[in-house]
Homo-oligomer: A and B are copies of this chain.
Amino acid sequence: MPNSRLRLTPQRRIILEELRNTRCHPTADEVYDLVRKRLPHVSLGTIYRNLDFLHTQGLILKLDKVGTQMRFDAFVDPHLHISCLKCGKVADLPQNAATVTLRTEGLTDSEAGFEVTGHWLELYGVCADCGNKVVVDK
């Protein structure tokens, strides 16, 4: 039978520490850059594998609906994310910044016949930096 004990390797510990040290919702390659400062020989494959592992363990969030790359978040308490339409930056907003009300009673009878099990709300806007930025390009 397989030994299902899972290890907290230095790589995993440091990835988690770095994620917990920032609220920047870094992409995998940004995590890679952070971790490489402490583990110069770490590989990007290990970063991806362990981000996925930590996500499976429920230790981090995987944000796959924000821009073109996945982003990761070690703060797993319920909260909302807002992404900047100009620079792609992702920030946290309090959970009560928006409320979603579902009318589920009608839904299972709709033509789709779907059972609704959850939802994902994504806010977008313009961050402080980009809002203040003077537009230079034509």
Residues on A close to B: CB < 8 A?
Answer: 65, 82, 84-85, 91-94, 96-104, 106-107, 110-128, 131
Contact = CB atoms under 8 A, between A and B. Distances in A.
Main secondary structure of the interface of A (DSSP, over half): strand
Given A118-B124, A121-B121, A122-B122, A103 B112 contact: no
Given A117-B124, A120-B124, A131-B115, A101 B99 contact: yes
Nearest to A118: B124
Given A97-B103, A110-B94, A112-B91, A125 B117 contact: yes
A101 to B, nearest CB: 5
Contact of A117 (B85, B112, B114, B116): B85
Contacts of A118: 123-125
